[in-house]
Amino acid sequence: MKLLVTAFGPFGGRSRNASSLALAGLKQRLPWLNTRILPVDSVVAPRRMSRALREVRPDAVLMLGEAGGSGAIRLETLAWNELDFRMPDSAGRQPQGLCIDPSAAQSIASTLPSGEIRACLLECGHACEISSDPGRYLCNQILFHTLRVVEKHHPHAKAGFIHLPLESDYPTTRAVDALARAVALIVRCREA
């Protein structure tokens, strides 16, 4: 079972991103994971993801990012074919009102077992909700991109996205615990 887990680097004026902090902790606990940190750059991030998919050829891809404004871990079930950046990416690009790919569907569903992951996290005392709105920034873009590449080139693989609260709202050790449980569940589902 090969699992690729990605996180994003800092953006939006913060010096750290909860997703890369949590990914570092997760990698310490589960050294067999394939991990990558992606930049908040709308051209470089999809390229790096495509390269990671070619290199790892994963059975499952778990993408992580941070989202302010919520104290709950959010399991994203949909990616939207839209680029509507609320702030520039790290290279200063700010596409607004654009499609990611005019020839593609309006939205694509993630393929990780969100309901099971949510139930497991709630049972373990985590704040967790299902979301169909990953925003229209880099996290949505990378989820959309990855689901399409996986559909085309790795059709056996599952992929999905988890938005973590900011570090100040959900301590890294708690986030790592939640992610380790999500990973265990993904592995169980893939091996069942």
Give the residue numbers annotated as catalytic, written as ranges. Answer: 76, 139, 163
Q: To the nearest whole angstrom, how small is the minimum distance from the Cβ of residue 81 to ligand PCA?
A: 15
Q: To the nearest whole angstrom, how small is the minimum distance from the Cβ of residue 41 to ligand PCA?
A: 10
Nearer residue to ligand PCA within complex by CB, 119 or 168: 168
Cα–Cα nearest to 37, from 180, 178, 138: 138
Task: Please report the DSSP string for 131-154 in residue order.
Answer: ES---SSHHHHHHHHHHHHHHHH-
Nearer residue to ligand PCA within complex by CB, 8 or 154: 8
CA distances from 42 to 38, 85, 119, 162, 169 (A): 10, 10, 33, 19, 26
Nearer residue to ligand PCA within complex by CB, 62 or 67: 67
* Count of CB atoms situated within 10 Å of the CB of 119: 13
Nearer residue to ligand PCA within complex by CB, 45 or 183: 45
Query: Which residues bind to ligand PCA, rule: CB under 6 A?
Result: 8, 11, 17, 19, 40, 65-67, 135, 137-139
CA distances from 22 to 27, 60, 76, 101, 186 (A): 9, 18, 17, 31, 17
Q: To the nearest whole angstrom, how small is the minimum distance from the Cβ of residue 7 to ligand PCA?
A: 7
Q: To the nearest whole angstrom, how small is the minimum distance from the Cβ of residue 189 to ligand PCA?
A: 25
